[in-house]
Amino acid sequence: MSLAPLRLAGLALLVVCSCQTPEPISRLPGPCAGAFSIYDQAERGSFAVVARNSCHVPVLVELAIPEIHNLRPSQELPARFSVPVGATQRLMTLDVIDSRNGSSYRAASAVIFGETLPAADPSFRYAFPFGGDEPRRLIQGVDGGITHEGPTRYAFDFGMPVGTPVVAARGGTVLQVVDGFPEGGFDPKFANRVNIVSVLHDDGTIGAYGHFSAGIAVREGQIVAAGEFLGSSGNSGYSQGPHVHFQVNAQRFVPAVSSAESIPILFRGDLVPVEGQEYGPYLGPEAGAAR
């Protein structure tokens, strides 16, 4: 139904530091939780602001310092930094202006996934995100009146029996897997109990697939091609019945804040699926027309 409550939205505000401690300034929630952090370390007459990326994808950081006392930053802020996979990287230095007085600052940082600023490719046409032998009905589409509004406005729910193959609508790197939830229902208590896969595309957009059965077939960091099996459809999470939810999210920087929300897309054949019509399944690199 909706991926709004999913952990995919965890690209948000990362705040606060103290210059007297090596504790992290910020940690990344959601995808790569605990695998990316920014921290400060004291040096003689200065403080270094350092990023550590143990995530399986590169991370682009925007750093701002809205409050600063008795420190001079080594470069103009806000500034953006690309942190490769596995890197520990100095972002900037804060030099003490007057050693006779105390120094402090508050840093606000935001992150998006990928090496460069995302720019959605409007020419790309997506495959239908399911396999099998039969077309499936679109039970909720763009601006659907049940749950497709706000960040999930441009989402598509294809109804299908439990166990139908869910496949990648576009190739990329598996960014996040949430697995292990056995059940769902149209009840808010299931909102955060949904099995999902998200895939980072080469233009910085993220394909989000939801409501899998437990036992997802891919792992975080895995490279997948269009049509590759991700897992089996199910009814996990906040759902009125078995289906696959699919949307493409754009990552954006608002100053010192990051966000992700669904964007308009076209499927192969220049299609925007319409509720009540049947589409797919994925039949190969050039297939995917409406039925």
Angstrom distance (rounded) from CA 84 to CA 63: 16
Examine the pLDDT at 163 and tell me if it is beyond 90.
Answer: yes
Residue 280 zone, left/alpha/beta (φ > 0; ψ -120 to 50; rest): left
**Termini Cα distance of the chain:** 23
Examine the pLDDT at 26 and tell me if it is beyond 50.
Answer: no
Q: Both 226 and 163 in a single domain?
A: yes
Mean pLDDT of the chain: 86
DSSP 213: P
Q: What pLDDT, on a 0 to 100 scale, did the predictor assign at position 239? A: 85
Last residue of some domain: 46, 80, 113? 113
Examine the pLDDT at 161 and tell me if it is beyond 80.
Answer: yes
Cβ atoms within 10 Å, residue 260: 24
Among 1-5, 99-103, 133-137, 166-170, name the one with the lowest average pLDDT: 1-5
Q: What pLDDT, on a 0 to 100 scale, did the predictor assign at position 157? A: 96
Last residue of some domain: 61, 95, 113? 113
pTM, two decimal places: 0.85
Q: Both 155 and 207 in a single domain?
A: yes
What's 98's domain CATH number? 2.60.40.10
Angstrom distance (rounded) from CA 182 to CA 243: 15
Higher pLDDT, 258 or 111: 111
CB 82 within 8 A of CB 114: no
272 domain residue, yes or no: yes
Examine the pLDDT at 82 and tell me if it is beyond 70.
Answer: yes
Q: What pLDDT, on a 0 to 100 scale, did the predictor assign at position 1? A: 55
288 domain residue, yes or no: no
Give the residue-averaged pLDDT of 253-257: 66
Q: How many domains does the chain have?
A: 2
Examine the pLDDT at 46 and tell me if it is beyond 50.
Answer: yes
29 domain residue, yes or no: yes
Examine the pLDDT at 264 and tell me if it is beyond 90.
Answer: yes
Q: What pLDDT, on a 0 to 100 scale, did the predictor assign at position 85? A: 96
Short-list 165, 135, 127, 137, CA closest to 265: 127
Last residue of some domain: 55, 82, 113? 113
Examine the pLDDT at 258 and tell me if it is beyond 70.
Answer: no
Give the residue-averaged pLDDT of 35-48: 91
Examine the pLDDT at 179 and tell me if it is beyond 60.
Answer: yes
Q: Both 196 and 216 in a single domain?
A: yes
- What phi and psi values does residue 190 have, to the nearest 5 degrees? -95, 0
Please name the residue that has the structure tokens 């493409």. Answer: 248
Q: Both 37 and 139 in a single domain?
A: no
What's 205's domain CATH number? 2.70.70.10
Q: Both 188 and 271 in a single domain?
A: yes
Among 59-73, 80-94, 182-196, name the one with the lowest average pLDDT: 182-196
Q: Note down the domain range covering 151.
A: 119-279
Q: CB under 8 Å to 31, separation ≥6 — which residues?
A: 7, 8, 10, 11, 55, 113, 175, 176, 198, 220
